[in-house]
């Protein structure tokens, strides 16, 4: 939020953010609590950050290191403070008032943010009536940064930002 303070001090009025992977969780929290953020892009997203760590292929080494000490339910509670599910209603209030524009993008074959987790956040957003754009790319988490997917993703993200900022 300090970044947005600084941007406003520099004279910028139309503010948005792009959050990718873990950054989408943090970006969601920032946007839910800061009405100055008018445009959001959430690239790879989930309602529960603990679930990403527990079920994601890229984070299996973390699970292997902690699963003898903690359950998924406990992990969720530990990471509740950074999990978008707990900020959905607050986010939806600002969005339904027309104060925010949101774009969700996820990868169909993502093994880091498994598909059911991405679908879950979109379902929660829809249930709350949040106006949003959704794009599902036919690739995985890391291949989203490779050709040709990076070009299509870039086009979608930049077009959304340009239209809404």
Give strand ranges (E) for 22-118. 37-43, 101-107
Spatial CB neighbours of 2, under 8 Å, sequence gap ≥ 6 = none
Q: Region 83-112: what's the mean pLDDT? A: 93
Query: Residue 12: what pLDDT?
Result: 96
Residue 43's pLDDT band, with cuts at 50, 70 and 90, is very high
Domains in the chain and their CATH numbers?
22-164 (3.40.50.1820)
Q: What is the pLDDT of residues 123-161, one digit of tens each?
A: 999 999 999 999 999 999 999 999 999 999 999 999 999
Average of per-residue pLDDT values in the chain: 95
Give the predicted TM-score (pTM) of the model.
0.93
Rounded Cα distance between 131 and 140, Å, is 26
Torsion of CA 115, 34, 126, 83, to 10 degrees: 40
Tokens describing residue 24: 């989408």
């Amino acid at each position: 939020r300090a970044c947005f303070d600084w941007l406003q001090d520099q004279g910028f009025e139309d503010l948005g953010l792009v959050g990718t992977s873990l950054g989408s969780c943090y970006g969601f929290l920032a946007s839910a609590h800061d009405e100055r953020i008018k445009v959001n892009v959430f690239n790879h997203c989930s309602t529960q950050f603990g679930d990403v760590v527990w079920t994601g292929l890229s984070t299996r080494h973390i699970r292997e290191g902690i699963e003898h000490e903690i359950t998924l339910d406990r992990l969720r509670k530990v990471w509740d403070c950074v999990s978008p599910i707990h900020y959905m209603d607050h986010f939806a209030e600002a969005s339904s008032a027309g104060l925010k524009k949101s774009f969700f993008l996820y990868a169909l074959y993502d093994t880091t943010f498994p598909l059911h987790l991405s679908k879950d956040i979109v379902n929660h957003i829809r249930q709350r009536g949040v106006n949003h754009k959704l794009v599902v790319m036919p690739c995985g988490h890391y291949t989203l940064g490779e050709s040709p997917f990076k070009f299509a993703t870039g086009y979608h993200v930049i077009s959304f930002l340009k239209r809404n900022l």
